[in-house]
Amino acid sequence: MAYAVGDFGGFSGGETSLDGGRVVHVFWLSGMSCDGCSVAMLGAISPSVEDLTLGTIPGVPRVVLHHSMLDEDCGAGFMEAFRQAAEGTLEAPYVVVVEGSVPDDQSFGGPGHFAAMGSGSDWPQSKGSAAYGEQPLRATDWMWALAPGAAACIAIGTCATWGGIPAAAGNITGSMGLTDYLGPSYRSARGLPVVNVPGCPPIGDNFTETLKDLLGYFEGSRALPEFDELGRPVWQFGETVHRHCPKAGYYEEGVFSHEPGDNQCLVEIGCWGPVVQCNIVERGAINHMGGCMVAGGACIGCTMPGFPDKFSPFYKAPPGSAISGGVSKVTGGAIRRLRRMSMANANTEPLWDNAHEIPTAWSRAADITHPVRKINSFFYKKLQYAGSVNHAKRNKKQPLPQSRDILRQKGVDMEASVPVLQEHLISREEL
Amino acid sequence: MTTQTSRPGPDGYNESTATGAAARNLRFDPVTRVSGDLAVHASADFGGSRRVGDAVAMATTFRGYEIICAGRDARDAVFISSRACGVCGDAHSICSALALEMACGIQPPPMGIVARNFLSATECLTDHPGHLFLRAGPDYSEPVVRHTSPELWTRAEATPAAGAAVHRFARVSDIMTALTRNRGRLYREALHMSRVAREANVVIGGKYPHPQTITPGGVSSTVDTTDFNLVLLRATKFLDYSRRVVAVWDDLTSYFYEADGRFAAVGEGPKNFLDLGLWDDPLSYDGRFANAASWGENRWSTPGAIVDGVLQSTDPRQIDAGVEEFVEHSFYENWSGESRSSDLHGNPLSQRHPSNKRTLPQPGSTDPGGRYSWSTAARWQGHPMETGAQARMWATALAAQQPHGSFVESTGRSLRMSMPKAQMPATLLEWQIPQRWNAFERNRARAYALAQATLAAYENVVIGLDLARRGGPNARIFNPYKIPKDGVTGAGYWGGARGYVSHHVQLADRVIENYQIVGPSTFSGSPRDGAGRPGPCEAAVMATPLVSSDPSQHGIDVLRAIRSFDLCMYCATH
């Protein structure tokens, strides 16, 4: 029996996901948001929002996106589909996406809202009549009305996932994350607790990729994506950002930035990367470009449930770094020096070792015949070739190429020519 | 009042089945394709008068950013206040850094200033196409025009596009087809180009929309030769793109004017503009309040307060000092208590001035005759003012003093922009101050503002390369600073893609005592003030004639008026 996969839209894949095929509605609800997650979503490319809404990905149903920043219609026309979804008359599966913290405005004794969308006449009557006539409907009304019937409920961004900045100390709105609001009993119509894609802003691709893979799962074309114990996509948030940080090597060698703008590890100017789960340094902010520490920005923990209060004051070194950074300065400092010795050896072509010179005007007389260097090289090679062969050594008797230094042989006197451009002989800081 | 129900119509557009007479209530709740949560209610007569009656614009979300900032370490201000707006996080973080610099006497080095300018310019390069093609554009697209005014579509099919050589659309109808949501070429190109601008932005800022590298004293970015290349090559992509965008909006504007002269009244409003300027001269800005007139006026984009088309001031301190916020129709309690009666320069400050404001939210019932918006009503010397890229264009063109003459020249009547060659040859784009001020001119001004931002981005990379070439302290990207223990106050005067942004900070013992934010839509999208004057968007809606035949009474012309402001309700209310 030949291996067969279903639902990728081939000869036997049934309906394709292009127009006329299956669709999934996505309802975008904004609580106390800043639109930053929507803006991040628009920047995604793998997949892009238009890949999803045009249904260009085989095996993934076309997305009908109901988003107030993008929708063609507005007012009652825009709200109609929200009402139908809550009434159960949409006749297509739907996903709910929540952006922004969830305010505690359900607790008001009378009308009033911290975040609103639509008004009384838009309300699904099957959920009871609208509490305050034609008054604005709270975003929190839509959240409880739509979440249970959704195939999945995705919280995008740190506000909707954990509470974020609107839930910071001192605010009066009683903000919380969607998981807190819906409570521990919540499961979607397909049995999923709230899926959390954090970040402030999140990486757009982290969200679109998660949505796409969930839709592929619902369609039967792929396995359920893996989520961690807080509902985060494991492949995105399973590692600390420090592990993949381009500056992590500086930490390992005990070299730290002293002030913003320095190129080394940023821990001492307030980077929390070693204890923060995030993938921005490997994925980039968009199209594998940028990323906080890649660009020189210290991690302030914006993907984490503790953000912002457990990471502030910003620009102050995390307490733990006093120990780990101190240890790294001692051990890493020693390792760095040893590595630089090995690197000096790696930076010479064997031909130059044999000729006892580095034949370029770029080089300022690196003394490759220095006795310390020779001794170091001797022991290094002993270890390197133990149990193997030093092929280069066996060929050491090979004569130097005869046409080396051809200009001198031909009598072209470069000493009389222009001097070496001094500007280019800049001294590099020690690595 | 008639009730409106709807059912899905052709083109995925909902047919309105308005029962009853031609007079009805338009309830745009929410108004889609704006940033943030906005609802507009207006009465409209689709019968004889075809006029709009009363209108209210409601900001329907409050977050509490000013309250959250209070009581925190001063160093938190930049990263917290940035989150007030996820469309222009760069604008808010830079503005916050400027406020702290003024409060604490911090001066960033030139390279740090250039890096901020670049972040700010690329934010405009992301946001302007977003407005022109994702938010406003679909209102002029084939499905919408066919649906709301079939007569305009037929005419467009027969109308050659004057800018065809630049934008490559033969007829006006081809432009409209390209503006179609999701599928249209211009729609998708805008998504693509906004991503190109973001790529450039995140090389310096780390992430988008909330940058991770802005700090008082400069930026923390580590910029090497590759980074310079990455940003330069992306900024220059906009040289051709902005030429095409300008040609598209020039053609659309002319088309509607010629099709029906009454379109010139859609969204019409007074020529009142407020802007704090944008993009600091790297050798002028020093963070000092005392020198604000000079560094303000040396910006690429000149600060300006304009009333009835007449320039009142280009000094950011006077512009700021004239601002008052009213809460009679907003969900806040009025504040009282201690206040400063003048700024350090001696300009009188009202008790209603943002720096004297306290944020006292009072959620409650929405009542169009009473309290109905989470936005305060920001006014300048009593006038409702319009803000945004259009205000930036007006102020810079009228003032005729912007010093950066390499590419942009201000003539007092126009802004002449010399676009270097890319794939297309070098050209001169000239934005002329228009005779009438309406929805079409707002969009057209924003198209030209894309060219202005392109040149600001490009010139700042060129200056950055030059500073790096010369080396020395000017090539530093950050100057260390200390937050003083004494009580200090400061203000940041800046702008986002959508214009006017000011942050006001008061520190005591290195802790934020009061933090206040004014965004562009706190002016443009404001509700009525205590004297009953409507906000600019409300007034523009009320001035709008229902020109399109609009058989299903969708209110398309009203929506064009609203969206032309490029409102961001998250900037309006925090």
Query: Do residues A176 and A161 lie in contact, with contact meaning Cβ atoms separated by under 8 Å?
Result: no
How far is CA A194 from each of CA A68, A98, B198, B208, B348, rounded to the nearest angstrom? 22, 10, 30, 25, 53
Rounded distance between C-alpha atoms, residue B228 and residue B235, angstroms: 11
Give residues 201 to 220 of B whose Cβ lies within 8 Å of A.
201-213, 215, 217-220
Nearest-angstrom CA–CA distance, A75 and B13: 12
**Residue B135 touches chain A, beta carbons under 8 Å:** yes
Sole residue written with tokens 């179609």: B180
Find the CB nearest B29 among A33, A118, A269.
Answer: A118
Helices A204-219/A36-43 angle, 10° precision:
70
Q: Are A94 and A22 in contact (CB under 8 A)?
A: no
Map tokens 């906000």 to a residue: B535
CA distance linking residue B36 with residue B40, whole number of Å: 13
B480 touches A at CB < 8 Å:
yes
Note the pTM of the prediction, 2 decimals.
Answer: 0.95
Per residue in A145-168, pLDDT tens? 999 999 999 999 999 999 999 999
Q: How far is B227 from chain A (nearest CA, A)?
A: 9
Q: Left, alpha or beta for A33 (phi > 0: left; psi -120 to 50: alpha)?
A: beta
Longest alpha-carbon distance in chain A: 99
Q: Sort out which chain A residues have CB atoms less than 8 A from B79's CB and list them.
A: 300, 308, 314
φ, ψ dihedrals at A98, nearest 5°: -115, 130
Closest chain B C-alpha to A249 CA, distance in angstroms: 16
| Domains located in chain A, CATH noted | 23-128+135-237 (3.40.50.700), 239-345 (4.10.480.10), 347-424 (no CATH)
* CB within 8 Å: A259 and B478: yes
Q: How big, in percent rounded to 5, are the helix, strand and coil portions of chain A?
A: 40, 10, 50
For residue B500, the cross-strand partners are B495
DSSP symbol at B31: P
The first and second tokens of residue A395, run together, are 């060929």
Give the separation between CA B507 and CA B484, rounded to whole angstroms.
9
* Phi and psi, residue B72, nearest 5°: -95, 165
The single-letter DSSP state of residue A154 is E
Which residues of chain B does A132 touch, with a Cβ-Cβ cutoff of 8 Å?
Answer: 365
Which CATH code, of 1.10.240.10, 2.60.40.420, 2.40.30.260, 1.10.645.10, is assigned to B6-522+532-572? 1.10.645.10
Looking at beta carbons, which residues of chain B come within 8 Å of A105?
A: 363
> Using the beta-carbon criterion (under 8 Å), do B37 and A71 form an inter-chain contact?
no
| Eight-state DSSP code of residue B278 | B
Q: How many Å apart are CA B494 and CA B492, to the nearest integer?
A: 6
CB-based contact A332:A251 (threshold 8 Å): yes
Given an 8 Å threshold on Cβ–Cβ distance, is A112 in contact with B331?
A: yes
What are the tokens at A149? 């019937």
* Contact between A358 and A366 (Cβ < 8 Å): yes
Quick check: B364 and A300 CB within 8 A?
no
Per-residue pLDDT at B12: 37
Q: Which residues of B touch A85 (CB under 8 A)?
A: none
- Angstrom distance (rounded) from CA B445 to CA B566: 12
Name residue, tokens 């996505």.
A26
Say which of A32, A165, A314 has its CB closest to residue B75: A314
Mean pLDDT of A67-80: 95
Question: A130-139, A174-183, A189-198, A199-208: lowest mean pLDDT where?
Answer: A130-139
Chain center to CA of A395: 49
Backbone angles phi, psi at A76, to 5 degrees: -60, -35
**pLDDT score, position A386:** 93
* Sign, CA torsion B357/B362/B364/B370: negative
- Mean pLDDT over all residues of chain A? 91
Calpha distance A164→A199 (Å, rounded): 9
Q: How far apart are CA B357 and CA B23, in angstroms?
A: 41
Establish whether the linkage from the previous residue to A246 is cis, with ω within 30° of 0. Answer: no
CB contact under 8 A, B206 and A295: yes
Beta-carbon separation of A313 and B4 below 8 A: no
Chain B environment of A259 (Cβ under 8 Å): 478, 480
**Has residue A108 got a pLDDT over 60?**
yes
Rounded to whole angstroms, the Cα distance separating B453 from B407 reads: 11
Helices (H), B352-498: 389-399, 439-470
Quickly state the pLDDT bin for A431 (edges 50, 70, 90). Answer: low
Could you say which of A35, A54, A78 has the minimum Cβ distance to residue B570?
A35
Compute the half-sphere exposure of residue B436: CA atoms within 13 Å on the CB side of its CA.
15
Q: Is B470 on the interface with A (CB under 8 A)?
A: no
Structure tokens at B108: 């960033």
Q: Kind of pairing, strands B499-508 and B488-496?
A: antiparallel
Given a contact cutoff of 8 angstroms between Cβ atoms, the answer to whether A195 and A155 are in contact is yes
Distance CA A213, CA A196 (A): 14
DSSP letter string, A262-273: --SB-GGGT--G
**CB distance from B71 to chain A under 8 Å?**
yes
Of A53, A170, A172, the CB nearest to B361: A172
Q: Does B573 touch chain A (CB under 8 A)?
A: no
Q: Considering only CB atoms, which chain B residues are within 8 Å of A140? A: none
Min Cα distance B296 → chain A (Å) is: 26
Q: From the CA of A124, how many Å to the nearest CA of chain B?
A: 13
Contact B213 A80 (CB under 8 A): no
Nearest Cα to Cα of residue A88 among A189, A186, A185, A178 = A189
Residues of chain B falling short of pLDDT 50? 1-20
Asked if B144's CB is within 8 angstroms of A68's CB, the reply is no
CB contact under 8 A, B72 and A296: no
Contacts of A260 in chain B (CB under 8 A): 213, 215, 217-220, 477-478
B432 interfaces chain A, CB cutoff of 8 Å? no
Residue ranges covered by each domain of chain B: 6-522+532-572
CB contact (8 A) between residue A261 and residue B212? no
d(CA B422, CA A412): 43
Q: In terms of C-beta density within 10 A (0-12 exposed, 13-18 middle, 19 or more buried), how is residue A229 classed?
A: exposed
Query: How far apart, in whole angstroms, are the C-alpha atoms of residue A205 and residue A45?
Result: 6
Q: How far, CA to CA in Å, does B136 sit from each of B139, B192, B570, B571?
A: 6, 17, 18, 18
Test A75 with B30 for CB contact under 8 angstroms.
yes
Q: Are strands B273-275 and B218-219 parallel, antiparallel or unpaired?
A: unpaired
Written as six digits, the tokens of B252 are 């659309």
Residue B132 CA to residue B523 CA, distance in Å, equals: 21
- Return the H-helix or E-strand segment holding B275: strand B273-275
What is the structure's pLDDT at A10? Answer: 63
Compute the distance between CA of residue A246 and CA of residue B259 in angstroms, rounded to an integer: 58
pLDDT for residue A333 is more than 80: yes
SS3 of B49-108: CCEEEEEEEEECECCCHHHHHCCCEHHHHHHHHHCCCCCCHHHHHHHHHHHHHHHHCCCC
* Closest C-alpha among B164, B565, B260, B253 to residue B435: B253
The values of phi and psi at residue A209, to 5°, are: -65, -45
Cα torsion B257, B262, B265, B267 to 10°: value is: -80
Gap between the Cα atoms of B350 and B342, Å rounded: 8
B341 touches chain A (CB under 8 A): no
Check residue A136 and report its DSSP letter.
E
What is the β-pairing status of strands B273-275 and B304-307? antiparallel
CA pair distance A231, A152, nearest whole angstrom: 12
Residue B301, token pair as written in the block: 């984009």
Q: Report the C-alpha gap between B50 and B265 in whole angstroms.
A: 12
Tokens representing residue A142 in the block: 């839509």
Q: Which helix H or strand E contains A249, and what residues bound it?
A: helix A248-252
Give the helix/strand (H/E) hosting B521: helix B520-524
Is B222 within 8 Å of A296 when comparing Cβ atoms?
yes
Check if the beta carbon of residue B112 is closer than 8 Å to that of residue B479.
Answer: yes
Of B16, B61, B220, the CB nearest to A296: B220
Q: Which two tokens stand for residue A86?
A: 């809550």
CA distances from B355 to A179, A251, A253, B510, B513 (A): 37, 43, 48, 18, 11
B572 residue type, one letter: A
pLDDT surpasses 90 at A51: yes
Residues in chain B with CB shorter than 8 Å from the CB of A80 are 6-8, 14
- Longest Cα–Cα distance of chain B, Å, equals 74
From the centroid of its chain, how far is CA B280? 18
Contacts of A89 in chain B (CB under 8 A): none
Q: What is the pLDDT of residue B16?
A: 44
Chain A neighbors of B212, CB-CB under 8 A: 292, 295, 297-300
Task: Tell me whether residues B67 and A172 touch, CB distance under 8 A.
Answer: yes
Q: Residue A290 and residue B199: Cβ atoms within 8 Å? A: yes
- Interface size A-B, in CB pairs within 8 Å, comes to 308
Q: Which of B71, B89, B195 sits opposite A170 (nearest CB)?
A: B71
Nearest to B464 by CA among B199, B171, B225: B225
To which H or E segment does residue B306 belong? strand B304-307
